[in-house]
Every structure is written in C-alpha cells, then in structure tokens.
Amino acid sequence: MSADLRFPGRYEMLGTLASAQKINIDQLMFRLKADVFKSRLRLREFFRDFDPLRTGICTVAKFRTAVDESGLKLTDPEFTTLSTHFADPTDPKRMRYDDFLNQLDTVFNTAGMEADPASTVSDFTPHLARPDATLSISEEAACDELLAKLQHIVKVRQLLIKPTFSDYSKNVNSTLLVDQITKAQFRNGLSQLGLQLTAEEANLLTTRFASSPGYVDYVAFCCAVDPMERTFSMREPRSYVEQPLKSGFRSLVYHPDVHEPSQPGRAPVTNNNPKLPVDYPTNPQLESLLTKLRQKASQHRLRPTDFFIEFDKHCDGTVTQPQFIKRLSVAYDKMGLGLSEDEIGLLLETYGKKMRHGAVHVEWRKFVGDIDKVFTTVNMEKDPYLAPTYSTNSQVPVTLTPHEREAAVQGLIADLRKRVEVRRVLVKPLFNDFGDWSHSTKIIDHITRQQMCQALSRFGIELTANEQQLLYDRYDTLGFGT
C-alpha cells in the first residue's frame, strides 16, 4: 500500500482501519484450505528449515516467513488472527504451526489413518464448485434440453471436446485463468467441434456456465456433455465415481439362483476355455499319426530338419531316443498337438535302428522324409515325369443335425453376409487380431469361443446364446472347442 501525498496521513489511517477489521478464523481457514487444495501445496516443507528439532513450534516471524515463501497471500490482520489463534500457551511469541498444518492437510488425508482402519478420507472437491447461474424455469428447461442434445452428439461422434478448449486456455495470449476461457473462445471451440448452435443457444450456455465476468467455465461444460470427462475430472466429487460394482456391472444382471445360459452381452461361461489337449487315442495308428504331424507342419510351414540336424554329430541320419523325443516336442511346441506316450512309442518303434555298439537310435532323416511329403514329392530329381503334389489346409464346416438347426444357422449366416455387404466391412482382421495374439491357442485359423464373441461385438453384432451356440457347433471343425 503506497502513501497518497495529496492527503497526508491517509496511509496511516487506512492501516488503522485494516487492523481494526475483524477476521473470522473459520472463513480464513476455509480460504486457505481451498488455496492449498487448488495448488496441491505442501506447506510442511516450508517449515522444516525453521524447526530443526521438529517440535511443531516456531516464532511468529518464522511463521510469517514460511507462509510468504509458500506463496499464500495473507494480510497483516490475517497474520495477527492466525498468530493469536495458534499461539503457544507457554509463550505468546511463538506459534503451534503443527496444529495449523494439520488442519490444512485435512483436504488431502485424515490424520491417524494408520491407527484407525475404519477412517475415511474426506472429499474437499464439492466445496470448490462455483454456484450455478440463476436461470428462470423456462431457461433451465431449454438449457437441459440443449445439453441432452449435445451429449447425444458427443456420444455418437465420439468427440474429445476438452482438448479443444484447453488449447485456448493455454494460449500465450490468453488470460491464463484456471478452467476459464472467454465467451468468444468458447463459441470458436464449439464451431471447431462441429456443434452448430444459434446465437440464443450459445448465450444460454455462456450464462449457464459463466464464471468470472466475461468468462466461461469450460470444464463444467465438458463434464455436462461428456460423462467420461465427469468421471475422470479432478473438479468433480470422488463420490460420483465410487459406486459398488457387481461382477463388473453397476446393477446385478446375473442371478446365480436362476439357471441362465449366459450373462447379457457375454458368451456362456462354459465356452471360456478350449478343450485342449484333446483326448488321446487308445490304439494309435501310424498313418493317422503321420497325417496329423503333416497337417501341423503344413499349417505352420514347419521344417523338422532344422530341429534334428544339429544333434546328428556323425551325419549318419540317426539320433538317440531321448534326443528324438526332445527335438520332436520342441518342433511341435505350442501347436495344440498333444502327443501321447503310446504315439511317441509308436514313432520310436517304427523308425528305430539298432547300431553297431548295441544302442537303439532313431532314423530322423527317414521320419523327416515322411513328414516332408506334404511339401514335395520324393525322388522328383530322378524321374522327370513326376509332377509336384499340392495340399490345402481347408476345413469343411460341420453340417448340423437335425435339419432345423442347419436351416437356422444358414439363415443366421445369410443375415451376417448381408450386413457385411451393406456396411462394406473387412471381417477377417477382426478375428485375425485374436489369432495373432501372444496368448491365443496357436491353432491355425482358430480362436477361442470367447474371442469369437468379442470379435462379433467389435463388428457391432450382439448374438443370443442360441445363435452363438449354432456358430460354435458349425465351425468347430477340429472338435477342440475352438
């Protein structure tokens, strides 16, 4: 406060009037709590240097210095009120700054929570909300209708509205007020978002969300038209978000006492896990076993030679039985093959060879030659009249029985085909993403039933439990539950 030379003694008179003002300690503490909460200020750090023994007491001068360093603006009468309220009973010239800080820290946490498990943290956010603008009943109804329309547009178009207004508030030419922009900036932001409003509607919104004179609280507007902004906004009470969930839903939609096939929007819980590994055959046959190995090699473009050649140190085309079992498991790893002990024993017996030193080895080259028949024809270099053979991995969908189920699934497929033709959607990438996932079943062209349900949901198709079961039964070509 500077002295006014035109009126001698005016500065002293104003100082006397200011010191005579009565300060309400409750209102002063509330204002300080609001300032501390907005700026996320930890005042305790500014008092550590003035209290090396951590007694919680300091002089009035040190208290004033620490508060000034923190950036809180207090007048002389306010300092006097605080020094009187938090004065040390044993020494009036010193203050109990620890009690002062404990009251301010209640906006962040509750003291003694480590000793009381039932204590909760209070929410200071509702105290910072600006009072709503006073509108007439007709204006309030018109504003609610306008906000409902804007909320529908934002939800359908999936608009991110807050970044547009935040750019205005952070502009170098802006007033840099917290959560506030000018009315002109607010209208420009609505125009950039493609929200076309009339002049009357724009004036109604600027009146509803007015903050300082000439400014609009754009954060409150974003929370009003976008529920997600309200959920994650630091300006909204935390109690808005803290709602009990029931199995992932806001309301109980699955009743355990009622036998329902599935939950709404989810596949039946019995289809979550594929049936892997498959049931082992009781009496394995060599030809069927080799056919299964060839199909896996063809699907995954597997070259078994690369897995056995490094263990054939003498280049005689044989490896030991433990080496053969180990490299066979490595070659067909994560393919859902599931060889049984009887099948492995059948391979060891078929390709076994007794060596000169009496040990029984396995002719891996002969085994690999039988597997590679799926790629090439043997001895083509010796017979120029031999033609290469080609094999495909196509799988025929299952024909359902009785005839009514087959007719129902054909009608469902026709309906899905029509949706694809109308929307011009690439369907395969929706399923292929799950097939390439690191935690997928690793079966070529197959995904789990739960993943199929999720892929259809991404396509915008919600099927009933019966329709899902029809598709599962038709396209479970391997019988693995995939």
34-89 pLDDT per residue, tens: 888 877 888 888 888 888 888 889 998 899 999 888 888 888 888 888 888 888 88
End-to-end CA distance of the chain: 81
Give me the CATH code for the 137-240 domain, please: 1.10.238.10
Measured from the Cβ of residue 334, the count of other Cβ atoms closer than 10 Å reads 10
The residue-averaged pLDDT of 378-396 equals 73
Residue 46, token pair as written in the block: 């500014």
435: left (phi over 0), alpha (psi -120 to 50) or beta: alpha
**Which is higher by pLDDT, 210 or 114?**
210
The residue-averaged pLDDT of 434-446 equals 72
CA distance 403 to 73: 83
| Helix intervals (H) in 158-259 | 162-169, 183-192, 199-208, 218-225, 227-232
CA distance 43 to 56: 13
* Confidence label for 157 from pLDDT (cuts 50, 70 and 90): confident
| CATH class of the domain at 286-374 | mainly alpha
Q: Which of 415, 418, 416 lies closest to 430, judged by CA?
A: 416
CB 342 within 8 A of CB 329: no
In single-letter form, the type of residue at position 291 comes to T
* Mean of per-residue pLDDT scores for the chain: 78
The residue-averaged pLDDT of 346-362 equals 88
Q: Lowest mean pLDDT: which of 81-95, 303-317, 329-343?
A: 329-343
Cis peptide preceding 277, ω within 30 of 0: yes
CA distance 285 to 293: 12
C-alpha torsion 221→226→229→231, nearest 10: 120
Cβ-proximal residues to 337 (8 Å cutoff; 6+ apart), any chain: 277, 292, 293, 296
Residue 463, token pair as written in the block: 């099927």
319 membership: H or E segment, kind and range: strand 318-320
Alpha-carbon distances of 88 from 32, 47, 358, 445, 473, rounded to whole Å: 21, 16, 99, 78, 81
Domain regions of the chain by residue span: 10-122, 137-240, 286-374, 403-475
CA distance 378 to 288: 20
Is there a shared CATH topology between the 10-122 domain and the 137-240 domain?
yes
DSSP state at residue 280: P
Q: Is the pLDDT of residue 377 over 70?
A: yes
Q: Is the pLDDT of residue 197 over 70?
A: yes
Cβ-proximal residues to 130 (8 Å cutoff; 6+ apart), any chain: 211, 217, 220
Let me know the angle formed at the C-alpha of 282 by 280 and 286, rounded to the nearest 5 degrees.
85
Q: Does domain 10-122 correspond to CATH entry 3.40.50.720?
A: no
* Confidence label for 266 from pLDDT (cuts 50, 70 and 90): low
Instruction: Kindly give the interhelix angle for 286-300 and 364-371, rounded to the nearest 10 degrees.
Output: 70
In single-letter form, the type of residue at position 461 comes to I
CB neighbour class for 433 (10 Å; exposed up to 12, middle 13-18, buried from 19): middle
Q: Lowest mean pLDDT: which of 92-96, 122-126, 190-194, 355-359?
A: 122-126
CA distance 274 to 276: 6
